[in-house]
Amino acid sequence: MPYFDAASALPPHPVARQALLASLDEGWADPTRLHREGRRAGLLLDAAREAAAEAVGCRPDELVFTPSGTHALHAGVSGVLAGRRRVGLGLTLSAVEHSALLHAAAAHEAATGGTVTEVPVDRYGAVAPETYAGALADGTALACLQSANHEVGTEQPVAEVAEACRDRGVPLLVDAAQSLPWGPVEGAWSLLAASAHKWGGPPGVGMLAVRKGVRFAPRPPVDERESGRAPGFPNIPAVVAAAASLRAVRAEAAAEGARLRGLVARIRARLPELVPDVEVVGHPELRLPHVVTFSCLYVDGEALLHELAREDFSVSSGSSCTSSTLTPSHVLRAMGVLSEGNIRVSLPPGTAEADVDRFLAVVPGAVSRVRERLGAPGGASGAAASGPAAAGEPGAGLVVDALGRRCPIPVIELAKVFGEVPVGATVTVLSDDEAARLDIPAWCEMRGQEYVGERPADQGVAYVVRRVS
Amino acid sequence: MPYFDAASALPPHPVARQALLASLDEGWADPTRLHREGRRAGLLLDAAREAAAEAVGCRPDELVFTPSGTHALHAGVSGVLAGRRRVGLGLTLSAVEHSALLHAAAAHEAATGGTVTEVPVDRYGAVAPETYAGALADGTALACLQSANHEVGTEQPVAEVAEACRDRGVPLLVDAAQSLPWGPVEGAWSLLAASAHKWGGPPGVGMLAVRKGVRFAPRPPVDERESGRAPGFPNIPAVVAAAASLRAVRAEAAAEGARLRGLVARIRARLPELVPDVEVVGHPELRLPHVVTFSCLYVDGEALLHELAREDFSVSSGSSCTSSTLTPSHVLRAMGVLSEGNIRVSLPPGTAEADVDRFLAVVPGAVSRVRERLGAPGGASGAAASGPAAAGEPGAGLVVDALGRRCPIPVIELAKVFGEVPVGATVTVLSDDEAARLDIPAWCEMRGQEYVGERPADQGVAYVVRRVS
């Protein structure tokens, strides 16, 4: 039963399980108490902090434990923005940060009237250091950048951006949730956040490192726990397990990273050969060892998830078809790549080569079955002439009414009729599905056709495509 | 090695340990994912929520899990105050709430300019329902009351206060951290907060129940977790263990509560017979089954903790002598009782009768040793005539300079010289120790002498006592 959703959460590492069990007996008491049970718990907490700080690359007194990576990000953002209020209320971040950071940014905007500057990314999902540097202004109090993207695996140029931030005197908060198990974050970062269940630590443990010298004012209410930066009774058994398992995965990181990188490379290379109309996304080289993401034309992401689940593969998807928000992943949107039929495969340590091969063997059939059910155009040229919703309109080419239809239907309808218009003519797709904005231009790019643009329509939006070949 | 600090934290219940272990394998995945691991985790979370809601006495969709009881209190306070902002910014609470609630109140005052009204308590630590009702004003958005006090064990009249709040249309948040293991909270409360490590659940789990119909606006940033009321990846194994252990302790609560109540009654009755100048505090009847608190004249709380630890007893103290804040517990202060030599004994389920008897056997010696080291007056009449810091002052009785000395020294110096002044004359104690404000009047009460009052002095405060017998 291959679980290929490691980037979401990993099952507890054997070391985490063992450490959790052992420290349940020793670490349950309040470490601020003077009695032996409290002191014993305090010693465990100190030891865990030292081990975690060593893995992060900071001093123990710079690191606090939080109840989750989300809490670490929220506390880091609010703490710096309050501590540096005199500098300004500007917050700069990349367009592909984790939603926890976007939520913190939105809360900052709403509560303080501060400004949030999003740095765009390239088609691989990476920021350019010079673009990032250009987004730092006089009133920028905090800059944020992930070490690697959680959806497509692309690594960010953290060291270069940290350098630019240092030049401007702006602290950089790095969301290291995805990369920390593979190694410390290089460069002169000021804050770092991470999450233990990403490396097989138990759920319920985040970490926030704040370098000495960074002005930091924790958001009230606070208490005496964790240097006043993370209130509430500490979960010491889980913290001990988190630190122990981080050391354990780090010991294997180089070898296992190289091995998984090979398996991911195989998926990246083979998929486009095995499945027609697939787009493998994310940077080909500068990437996490274990994550590979692809999108499939004419495919409903949720349906593909289910097809793969029927073959026993657990994966995730950034397609809007699977989410309750009706919008495709903001990461794919920022990259400007196809979102329909999107699948993220993230391999846990120890993934068997045979499972990857079996995955490659079942994906083509799974994709075909979904396309068949959706009535997607059969051949790669999309020559089906029986477009149902196509209607001639004098001088304006064809108009396809896909209102009320969810992805990937608007793109399927476009493809179905596209062969009917002469070269030079346009097809206009009416759609109220948010994904169409991303997927129709992506289709044009994949098909070598011209995306003319969008304009408002009575209902939804009209997306115009010109046939150029 | 008897651990008598159950009110701080309990070691994991065997059921918690077993449930935690079992659900580590099933509950580590992200419950919002569509794959089998996610669904399995989601089913565990649902089951835990149902079990917990049944024990609390609310609907499952009214209950969310938080990373701690502190988080539950903070989220409850900020959520109601934001949701009912149109009503006003008033927050009413008792003077003896847990510090987590006081911190939330202070944050509210600082951030919004809202008002916080503290309802005083009687000498037992209880609010009077009519006093509480009188503290509710037109702009009161939220009222808070603990179900029972965490330091002295006194139960609060929650049902009556809830009735008064309902009459005024003010939601009542009940901090049930100490009482929930013993039974549900009676009365028409609107919100309830609790903490799993108080009943032998694992650390890292709090609960917040919010009755349907209560206007609630969670403080941003939020995410899709826990109805938007508790952001961050959920700790499902711990949540499952928390719910399972709550059921387990409830099954034993009636029998074990009665048994512990008997042991506590024995301590309350025997201590004043065994130890001179001890004050047992808290309500004699309306109290938690397992908590008993007492203060000892002429004793340094931390020194007494260490003496008891040497006899293998782990207890806690609300004396300022043990805290880094240099002020005695706000609970003892609000009650107006002696704070020096304060010890809280809280018995875990299963406490052996023999351990309680041994405790009673060792306390007198422990107290004597501390008093001896401090040079405390020997007899109950405090007749020692060798007061070192006493100096005659014409017409003003004796003045004792205890500046720079920490509790219990100011009271010891007072007692040492008190026999030297004639009936009708005064002794003035100069002290800059915050505890003196509480402990000198308490000494007068215990000794039947007249506490005249305090006045500012060049340094510290002058506390004036008149000898009346």
CB nearest A110 (choices: B30, B68, B220) = B220
DSSP B148: B
Domain of A147, CATH number, reads: 3.40.640.10
Q: According to the model, what pLDDT value does residue A325 have?
A: 60
A6 domain residue, yes or no:
no
CA distances from A408 to A276, A382, B243 (A): 16, 14, 42
Give the residue carrying structure tokens 């643009």.
A453
Q: For residue A462, what pLDDT band results from cuts at 50, 70 and 90?
A: very high
Q: Which residues in chain B have their CB less than 8 angstroms from residue A27's CB?
A: 203
**Final residue before a domain boundary, out of A249, A273, A288:** A249
Per the model's pLDDT, the better-predicted residue between A320 and A217 turns out to be A217
Residue A331's domain spans which residues?
252-374
**Burial (CB count within 10 angstroms: exposed 0-12, middle 13-18, buried 19+), residue A255:** exposed
Same domain for B304 and B412, yes or no, is no
Same domain for A224 and A334, yes or no, is no
| Local structure of B385: helix, strand or coil | coil
Average pLDDT over residues A121-134: 98
- The answer, yes or no, to whether the previous bond of B221 is cis (omega within 30 of 0) is yes
Residue ranges of alpha helices (H) inside A275-402 are: 301-310, 330-335, 353-374
Give the residue carrying structure tokens 């603990």.
B146
Are B235 and A104 inside 8 Å of each other by CB? no
Q: What is the distance in angstroms between the Cα of B8 and the nearest Cα belonging to chain A?
A: 7
Same domain for A135 and A181, yes or no, is yes
A459 domain residue, yes or no:
yes
Pairing of strands B191-195, B172-175: parallel
Averages of pLDDT over each 10 residues, chain B, 469 residues: 96 97 95 94 98 98 98 98 97 97 97 96 98 97 98 98 98 98 98 98 98 97 94 97 98 98 98 97 98 96 94 90 70 95 97 98 98 83 43 67 94 95 96 94 96 96 96
A228 domain residue, yes or no:
yes
Q: According to the model, what pLDDT value does residue B101 have?
A: 97
Q: Which residue does chain B place closest to A72, by CA atoms?
A: B232
Interatomic CA distance for residues B332 and B317, integer angstroms: 11
Are B34 and A309 inside 8 Å of each other by CB? yes
B 189-248: CB under 8 A from A = 195, 197, 202-204, 206, 220-224, 231-238
B172 domain residue, yes or no:
yes
Identify whether the C-beta of residue B121 lies closer than 8 Å to the C-beta of residue B335. yes
Same domain for B259 and B220, yes or no, is no
CA distances from B205 to A234, A409, B68, B173 (A): 10, 44, 5, 18
Listed residue (A431, A468, A434) closest to A452, CA to CA:
A468
Q: According to the model, what pLDDT value does residue A177 have?
A: 98
Domain of A285, CATH number, reads: 3.90.1150.10
Same domain for A220 and A272, yes or no, is no
Q: Is B113 on the interface with A (CB under 8 A)?
A: no
Listed residue (A196, A94, A197, A193) closest to A149, CA to CA:
A94
Q: What ipTM score was computed for the predicted complex, to two decimals? A: 0.94
Same domain for B351 and B230, yes or no, is no
Q: Which residue does chain B place closest to A228, by CA atoms?
A: B103
Residue A315 pLDDT exceeds 90: yes
Residue B438's CB is within 10 A of a number of other CB atoms, namely 25
Q: According to the model, what pLDDT value does residue B307 have?
A: 97
B36 domain residue, yes or no:
yes
Residue A326 pLDDT exceeds 90: no
Same domain for B271 and B125, yes or no, is no
Paired with B192 in beta bridges are B174, B209
Give residue-wise pLDDT tens across range A384-423.
444 444 454 445 589 999 999 999 999 999 999 999 999 9
Give the residue carrying structure tokens 């490659």.
A360
Q: What is the distance in angstroms between the Cα of B231 and the nearest Cα belonging to chain A?
A: 7
Give the residue carrying structure tokens 């846990």.
A348
Of B58, B296, B321, B444, catalytic:
B321
Query: Is residue B335 within a helix (H) or strand (E), and if so which, with residue range?
Result: helix B330-335
Output the DSSP codes for A311-328.
TT-B-B---GGGSTTSS-
Contacts A–B by Cβ distance under 8 A = 206
When divided into structural domains, chain B yields a total of: 3
Are A8 and B30 inside 8 Å of each other by CB? yes
Paired with B296 in beta bridges are B278
Q: According to the model, what pLDDT value does residue A1 have?
A: 85
Average pLDDT over residues A52-76: 98
Domain of A429, CATH number, reads: 3.30.110.40
Interatomic CA distance for residues B406 and B439, integer angstroms: 12
A5 domain residue, yes or no:
no
Q: According to the model, what pLDDT value does residue B312 have?
A: 97
Same domain for A340 and A453, yes or no, is no
Same domain for B62 and B206, yes or no, is yes
Give residue-wise pLDDT tens across range B338-355.
999 999 999 999 999 999
A9 domain residue, yes or no:
no
Q: What is the distance in angstroms between the Cα of B194 and the nearest Cα belonging to chain A?
A: 12
Same domain for A125 and A185, yes or no, is yes
Same domain for B80 and B209, yes or no, is yes
Interatomic CA distance for residues A214 and B362, integer angstroms: 50
**Final residue before a domain boundary, out of B374, B400, B419:** B374
B380 domain residue, yes or no:
no
Q: According to the model, what pLDDT value does residue B327 have?
A: 81
**Final residue before a domain boundary, out of A221, A249, A277:** A249
pTM of the entire structure? 0.95
Q: According to the model, what pLDDT value does residue A380 have?
A: 44
Residue A361's CB is within 10 A of a number of other CB atoms, namely 12
DSSP B3: B
Average pLDDT over residues A206-216: 98
Residue A322 pLDDT exceeds 80: no
Q: According to the model, what pLDDT value does residue B211 have?
A: 98
Q: Mutation test of the interface with chain B: which of A15, A35, A102, choosing the one with the most B Cβ atoms within 10 A?
A: A35
Same domain for A79 and A180, yes or no, is yes
Interatomic CA distance for residues B59 and B51, integer angstroms: 10
